[in-house]
Amino acid sequence: MILDTGVVWLTIFVLSVFVGIEVISKVSSTLHTPLMSGANAIHGIILLGAILVTGTTDNDVALVVGLIAIVLASVNMVGGFVVTDRMLQMFTRKKPAAPKSDQDRAA
């Protein structure tokens, strides 16, 4: 038996919904902002779609629109990941500081 193509797509969609909810269900409110920002960067993957559509068109208007889409999508993707990393740097930078102060206290 071969699965109907439409059903395969629906299967992927439904399973992804469950995975998406499951992976973030235990997030603490401290990380809501970086998580939102990181998820925001991930949907910048529309850049892949924009490249595919733009690279296969022969129409001049479509080419211009496609290039605009590529610019917008790369702002979303690259900017999103960089800004998330900047936020998360704030959380990790003090980690080396914490054990240091423990040592200070011990000494």
Partner 1 sequence: MPTWIQLVFLACGVCFILALKGLSGPRTARNGNLLGAAAAVVACLMPFFWEDLHLQHVPLIIAAIAVGTIGGVYGARTVQMTQMPQMVALFNGVGGGAAALVALLELHDVVETAANGGGDAPWFTLAATAFTIAVGSISFAGSIVTFAKLQELMTSRPVVFPGLPVVFGGSLVAALVLAGLLVDDPRMWVGVLLGLVGLLIGLLLVLPVGGADVPIVISLLNAFTGLTVAAGGYVLSNVLLLIAGTLVGASGTFLTLLMARAMGRSVTNILFGALKGGSTLGAGEASDRPVRSVNPEDAAIMLGYADRVIIVPGYGLAVAQAQHTLRELVDVLVEKGARVDYAIHPVAGRMPGHMNVLLAEAQVPYEQLREMDQINGDFKDADVVLVVGANDVVNPAAKTTPGAPIYGMPILNADEARQVIFMKRSMRPGFAGIENELLFDEKTSLLFGDAKDSMGKLLNAVKAL
Segment 66 to 85, residues that bind partner 1, using CB under 8 A: 66-85
Number of residues that bind partner 1 (CB under 8 A): 82
What SS3 state is found at 32? helix
Residue (13 or 107) nearer to partner 1, CB: 13
Q: Does 97 bind partner 1 (CB under 8 A)?
A: yes
Residues 6+ apart with CB under 8 A from 34: 84, 87, 88, 91
Footprint of partner 1 on residues 21-60 (CB under 8 A)?
A: 21, 23-59
